[in-house]
Amino acid sequence: MSDAEAHLPEHHSGLAHQFEDLEQQQESDFLGIWLFLVTEIMFFGGLFAAYAIYRFFYFAAFEGGSHILDARLGAANTAVLLGSSLTMALSVRSAQTGNRRALVVFLIATLILGGAFLGVKAYEYNQKFVEHVVPGLDWAPEGEVLARLAPGGVQHAELYFIFYFAMTGLHAIHMVIGMGLLIWLAIRGRKGDFTPHYFAPVEVVGLYWHFVDIVWIFLFPLLYLIGGRY
């Protein structure tokens, strides 16, 4: 034990007793978060597979449903989320370099960008109620919206919107959880819990946040840009 202690960069309160040193603990942390992300790929993977099947069956309906969405809003929201990934990566970097102030600033910036994303999403969800294209709760498309959905079959377009709400909803839940974790990190970061030797929580939450970003990178073209908009 005294041999192992000699290799410790410092005796840190963040080191759990089952690990030899912080480096071993960190590698274990990475392994854990990546295995969790693998289960998340399987979780979202099932939805993506179901989406692929029904999009193949009812392509015209999915295309019609897709054209109800505002592609420019979706693109803008993609940019907002990519920005939050940038600030998240910079948070981890600030923790690595021991810049406590920058760490907290970048974490809060990530939080704000995540909130902006959800704000736009909430506006879009509200639009769906205005257009009466919410399956189960308010499904009564009329006028121009109905004209766009009719070629593919209105009932099948309802299926598209079920996928739209299920996939973006599950994504939004992940965002809310991520934002909760960011608040926790910002509080701990402000207290000075993270040092260049111990910042695994920041990096682990960062990996989760980037994963959620990747899910959106695929959701955007799959939901907003079906079949082109020419």
Closest separation in Å from C-beta 129 to other proteins = 25
d(CA 114, CA 83): 9
Is residue 214 a contact partner of residue 157, using CB atoms and an 8 Å limit?
Answer: no
Instruction: Kindly list the distances between the CA atom of residue 65 and the CA atoms of 5, 7, 29, 30, in Å, as whole numbers in the listed order.
Output: 62, 60, 42, 40
No. of helices (H) and no. of strands (E), the chain? 8, 2
136 sits near other proteins (criterion: CB under 8 A): no
- For other proteins, the closer of residues 158 and 213 by Cβ is 213
d(CA 85, CA 128): 28
- By CB under 8 A, the residues from 42 to 61 that bind other proteins are 42, 45-46, 48-49, 52-53, 56-58
Sign, CA dihedral 92-95-101-107, equals: positive
- By CB under 8 A, the residues from 209 to 228 that bind other proteins are 210-211, 213-214, 217-218, 220-222, 225-228
Write out the residues near other proteins by the rule CB under 8 A.
Answer: 26-27, 30-31, 34-35, 37-38, 41-42, 45-46, 48-49, 52-53, 56-58, 71-72, 75, 78-79, 82-83, 85-86, 88-90, 92-93, 96-97, 199, 203, 206-207, 210-211, 213-214, 217-218, 220-222, 225-230
